[in-house]
Amino acid sequence: MKDIFRTLVIAAFVAVAVSTAAAQRTGNVSDGEIAGGLKEALSKGVSTAIKSLGKENGFLGNVRVRIPLPKSLQKVEKVVRVAGQGKAVDEFVASMNHAAEKAVPVAVDVFVDAIKKMTFDDARQILFSGKDDSATQFFRKNSEETLREKFRPIVEEFTEKTGVTQKYKAMIGKAGFAAQFLGKDATDLDGYVTQKALDGLFLLIADEEKKIRKDPLGRTTSLLRKVFGILR
């Protein structure tokens, strides 16, 4: 995990260096620097998010990204808890969150590729969009489906290995009559966990982007200070 940021930053600067000489300038900041700064910001956000979520209890221990029961399962949760099976619910929730944390680290390669594809025009539009998370949204648009394809097999493998499906069936079995009211979000648990893992990952990347845009202390390198300083 300690090499994640280094890998992403190298990808960012290699991608921008080949064209910097031909860049137009915005004040004292070239298009090449704008692109490099945004790519570095994304690299920093990705590194922070992956390190936070990919560790033990990365999802479970963070209330903002903690994966809850699917909404339709929440209908039977009270029934199960009243029946004295609250432990089964807690174990099930924990297993979903642990599946998500196992999937997150594979995002590095996908993000490196997405960073390389950012153009000068993309960078200028993102920087001057006026939105706090426009770079993150660009990232999401260009990488989410690939990430989903990478995440889901890992989630499926983990849930199978740790018996999530069995825990789910056991919990539903104890819900009795109420189980018939379950919705679609409860029928594809792997898809549900995968989507929640993606949501949590992009949420934390957006948090980091907002810090860099709004807080000078979040601009930890000279390039970030130079690029995002023109937004004042």
DSSP string, 92-152: HHHHHHHHHHHHGGGHHHHHHHHHHT--HHHHHHHHTS--TTHHHHHHHHHHHHHHHHHHH
CA–CA separation, 36 vs 195, rounded Å? Answer: 30
Residues in the chain: 232
CA–CA separation, 94 vs 211, rounded Å? Answer: 30
Residue-level pLDDT at 146: 95
Contact 157, 64 (CB under 8 A): no
CA–CA separation, 45 vs 201, rounded Å? Answer: 10
Contact 138, 118 (CB under 8 A): yes
Residue-level pLDDT at 217: 60
CA–CA separation, 28 vs 31, rounded Å? Answer: 10
Q: Which tokens go with 77?
A: 């949760």
Residue-level pLDDT at 177: 47
Q: Which amino acid is at 58?
A: G
**Digits of tens for pLDDT over the chain (232 positions)?**
556 655 554 455 444 443 443 344 445 777 777 777 778 777 888 888 999 999 999 999 999 999 998 887 777 777 777 777 778 788 889 999 999 999 999 998 898 888 888 888 888 888 777 788 888 898 899 899 999 999 999 999 988 887 776 666 666 555 554 555 555 556 688 899 999 999 999 999 999 888 877 766 666 677 777 766 766 5
Contact 132, 206 (CB under 8 A): yes
What pTM did the predictor assign?
0.79
Q: Where are the domains of the chain?
A: 4-229
Residue-level pLDDT at 198: 97
Residue-level pLDDT at 36: 79
Comparing CA positions, the residue from 64, 63, 58 lying closest to residue 97 is 58
Residue-level pLDDT at 22: 35
Residue-level pLDDT at 17: 43
Residue-level pLDDT at 14: 43
Pairing of strands 25-26, 29-30: antiparallel
Report helix, strand or coil for 30: strand
The CA radius of gyration of the chain, in Å to the nearest whole number, is: 21
Residue-level pLDDT at 174: 57
124, with CB counted inside 10 A (0-12, 13-18, 19+), is middle
